[in-house]
Amino acid sequence: MIEKITDLAKKIIKDQKNVKIAVDMTAGTGKDSLFILENLEPGLLYSFDIQDEAERKTKNLIGPRKNFKFIKDGHQNIDKHITDKIDLGVYNLGYLPGSDQQITTRSQTTIESLDKLLKLLNKNGRIILTIYRGHKEGNKEAKEIETYLGGLKEKDYACLKLSFPNKEETSPYIIIIDKKF
Ligand SMILES: C[S@@+](CC[C@H](N)C(=O)[O-])C[C@H]1O[C@@H](n2cnc3c(N)ncnc32)[C@H](O)[C@@H]1O
């Protein structure tokens, strides 16, 4: 049974095959990064976050691994750090639970990073976004991401939105983007 959006995100992450390079665009506690490492065993996982707390938690959780690199920078600067083609990009948007809610992902930088990530994505590569629209910035971010994605050509990208119709209207949801070329 899929009751929580995070359960669904995990299933979708696990579904992606032959992942050589993966990027966790929002490392936070490092739990998603660890899940990617343990389930997909990518050749290399890059994890971005802007917070010291996220860096500490993620590095503590994962420990030293040859195939893991934490990047303490905004994901909108992805092109400054990664030139390799990417097979999987994962976003868990919003703020780190239990810490400063002002340090949250924001539509402008999220969309800038998405635009760059789409260019770096391999053919058949996938982006998975878990989107939280229950807080003010998250609601704005959700709307602006959808407007941006609405402009992508159908021949180039398959975009799928997954939500729970019998939960609150502001409940989190997932968008998957698959690159066709
Ligand atoms: C909901 S949390 C991520 C949860 C995480 N995936 C986990 O497994 O715990 C969102 C994270 O995005 C980070 N963040 C906010 N703006 C960012 C940016 N521009 N670039 C990278 N990370 C950012 C926050 O610091 C926060 O840790």
Write out pLDDT tens, residues 20-78.
999 999 999 999 999 999 999 999 999 999 999 999 999 999 999 999 999 999 999 99
pLDDT at position 137: 94
pLDDT at position 84: 95
> What is the rounded distance in angstroms from the CA atom of residue 170 to the CA atom of residue 35?
26
Phi, psi of 116 (to 5 degrees): -70, -40
Query: Which long-range CB contacts under 8 A does 95-103 form with residues at least 24 apart?
Result: 95/135, 96/28, 96/29, 96/51, 96/53, 96/54, 97/28, 97/29, 99/51, 99/53, 101/135, 103/50, 103/51
pLDDT at position 94: 97
- pTM (2 d.p.): 0.98
> What is the rounded distance in angstroms from the CA atom of residue 28 to the CA atom of residue 24?
9
Q: Which of 4, 37, 45, 49 to mutate to test the pocket of ligand 1 (most atoms within 8 A of CB)?
A: 49
The rounded Å distance from CA 168 to ligand 1 centre is: 24
pLDDT at position 27: 98
Write out pLDDT tens, residues 78-125.
999 999 999 999 999 999 988 899 999 999 999 999 999 999 999 999
Average pLDDT score over residue span 137-162: 98
The rounded Å distance from CA 70 to ligand 1 centre is: 12
